[in-house]
Structure 1
Amino acid sequence: MTIRFDDKIAIVTGAGGGLGRAYALELARRGAKVVVNDLGGSRDGTGHSDAALKVVEEIKAAGGTAMSNGGSVTEYDQMVEMVAKAKEAWGGVHVLINNAGVLRDKSFANMAPEDFEFVVDVHLNGSANCTKAVWETMREQAYGRILMTASSTGLYGNFGQANYGAAKLGLAGLTKTLQLEAAKYNIKVNTLAPTAGTRMTEDIFPEEAFKLFTPESVAPAALFLVSEHAPTNAILGAGAGVFQAAYVTLTQGVALTGEELSPEGVAAHWAEITDRKGEMTPQSGSEQAMSIMKKLAG
């Protein structure tokens, strides 16, 4: 099976460098027409640059088709305008990779509320804005592939990144609801948790690791998850050519009654409650309620 994107129009946010650039270049190489979106700011979201234009020039020099867009993902109207321009030029939008992001790392004790709000706004609200802007088009087409960018920080935590982690796990949750709402329209929604040496992480990674964790080694995961053959509702970790699936699971649990239905009862049964033997991977929130009913009936 060869994965191609001929006759597909793709939008990649934050595509002026790093992971987004790698995705945009590979999508174009495989036949997609690509909107390269990038505000062009620094890592903390300030300033502007012509990064998106440079990536478009790279794509065109390689024989591909692309246009740049300098809109901010935090501005819904700008994302609507970006989608409208793509449709006007090429007739639709089939792929959206929500990749734009910023970092404002500090311990929670030293983090200003505005730093928390801004990071959540760019990552979580920004991805929602872009997704909403393409949603009706994808429903009308009865085809869409949407990728959210989560992080190991969101899934597992990381010191000094409370704002980033909150936003990133929020994106995994957004995916889980959207994939249900989109299923009948042939819209697949997935989550990628990449680990890569980019402008965002260049002073965090040791030099040798930085060379190993290239954006290009993550791109295969992103492209598969937005391909015609994509699964839906996957959380995929990717870094340095290693790919791993992550799951939100639920244990079998314990039904407590009578005097045991108390804080003391929870404490007494903690080992049994947290026993992972036979744990489930619910595909919707309702499955938790269903598992509780089954437990009570059993």
Structure 2
Amino acid sequence: MADHTRLFDLTGRSALVTGAAGGIGSAVAEAYAAAGATVLVTDVDGDAAASVAQRLRAAGGKADSAALDVRDRTAADAAVAQAAAHTDGTLHILVNNAGVTAPAMFADLEADSVRRLLDIHLMGAFHCAQAAVSALATDGTGRIINVTSSAGITGTLGQVNYSAAKAGIIGLTKSLARELARKNVLVNALAPLAATSMTETIRTDEKFAKTMLARIPLRRWAEPAEIAGAFVFLASDAASFITGQVLPVDGGMVM
């Protein structure tokens, strides 16, 4: 009988995770390291990224770190080269997770806020994906996993800037999946919902929290570690015939 648990083994593969200094990003980096991958932990806060990488090494994983502002294409090129150097110049997994929020009702929304979120979320994913394309494995193990949100699928009150950026990532994912299929590279997106610093404002406001929980069939927020397994799945051989998809990991909020 085949050992299907090995489907999730990432030993010998390299991964680059953006926005990995905390929240979902650090949980994903930890899960990849636990699955055997060599992980480059990146974040605009280089010191925080280095702390996460040190923690992964202390736990027996393989990891290093780099400061990365995903708006900087030159920095993205350098990060891809650093991650790929761990596996003879080949990158296996890119996770575009870096992001911020700046809530405001549409009438009060400033153009600069829209540009900033588009630059970080959408253009950041574009820069890192384009930097990675020539280094990604073409043997079926090459993966790009983008992070979107339910906001990009259904929209959300007071976050036109964030929703637009996350919807753009869905379009990027689907189009890129079609293009890179010829290279045997899989491109998918996850739409997670977890208790992180980005959702703290909603979770700690009694009115917002009650409304939000009412929309989640499981009636709770996930911890970041609960989300990380879906990233391992999409990076693994278990997802070898999945591309161009958006997987909500949100307790059933988006069905």
What TM-score, normalized by structure 2, do the two folds share? 0.87
Q: Does 1:77 align with 2:86?
A: no
Q: Structure 1: 5+ residue runs without aligned partners?
A: 41-48, 247-298
- Secondary structure, in 3 states, of the residue corresponding to 2:12? coil
Contact 1:119–1:164 at 8 Å: present in 2 too? yes
**Following TM superposition, by how much is the alpha carbon of 1:245 offset from its aligned partner in structure 2, in angstroms?**
7.7
Q: Which residue is equivalent to 2:166?
A: 168
* Structure 1 residue 66 corresponds to structure 2 residue 75: no
Instruction: Tell me how far apart the structure 2 counterparts of residues 82 and 217 of structure 1 sit (CA, whole Å).
Output: 27
Contact 1:236 1:244 survives alignment (8 Å): no
> Residue 247 of structure 2 aligns to a residue in which SS?
strand
Q: Which moved more, 1:28-37 or 1:89-98?
A: 89-98
- The reply on whether 1:234 has 2:248 as its aligned counterpart is no
Q: Is the 8 A contact 1:143 1:185 kept in 2?
A: no
Alpha-carbon separation, structure 1, partners of 2:155 and 2:220: 24
Q: Percent identity between the aligned chains?
A: 38
Residue number in structure 1 paired with 2:28: 23
Matched to 1:87, the amino acid is A
Paired residues of 1:236 and 1:245 also in contact (CA < 8 A): no
SS in 2 for 1:197: coil
Correspondence 1:6 to 2:17: no
Q: Conserved in 2, the CA contact under 8 Å of 1:9 and 1:32?
A: yes
Q: What is the distance in 2 between the residues matched to 1:220 and 1:184?
A: 27
2:192·2:248 contact (CA, 8 Å) conserved in 1?
yes
**Cα displacement (A) at 1:19:** 0.1
CA deviation profile, 1:151-182 (whole Å, cap 9, x unmatched): 11110011111110001011111111111111
Task: Report SS of the residue matched to 2:186.
Answer: strand
Tell me what 1:266 maps to: none
Worse-superposed segment, 59-68 or 222-231 = 222-231
Q: How does 1:140-159 map to 2 (within 5 A)?
A: 143-159=141-157
Q: What letter matches 1:80 in structure 2?
A: D
Structure in which a larger fraction of residues adopt helix: 2
The answer for the alignment partner of 1:51 in structure 2 is 48
Rate the CA distance shift 1:106–1:212 in 2: closer, same or farther, 3 A.
Answer: closer
Identify if the C-alpha distance between structure 1 residues 243 and 61 changes in structure 2 by more than 3 Å, giving closer, same or farther: farther
**Contact 1:197–1:211 under 8 Å retained in 2:** no
Ranges in structure 2 where 5+ consecutive residues have no aligned partner:
214-218
- TM-score w.r.t. structure 1 length? 0.75
Q: Take 1:152 and 1:214, find their aligned partners in 2: how far apart are those partners?
A: 17
Q: Alpha carbon RMSD of aligned pairs, Å?
A: 2.0
Instruction: Summarize the alignment of residues 200-211 of structure 1 with structure 2, pairs less than 5 Å apart.
Output: 200-206=198-204
Change (3 A) 1:56 1:211: farther
Q: What amino acid maps onto 1:152 in structure 2?
A: S
Structure 1 range deviating more: 113-122 or 88-97: 88-97
The answer to whether structure 1 residue 225 and structure 2 residue 201 are counterparts is no
Q: In 2, distance between residues paired with 1:24 and 1:226?
A: 12
How far off its partner does 1:140 sit? 5.7
Select the structure of larger CA radius of gyration. 1
Are positions 1:216 and 2:213 aligned together?
no
Q: Deviation digits for residues 101-153 of structure 1, max 9, x if unmatched?
A: 01111111111111100001100000010000110112666641111111111
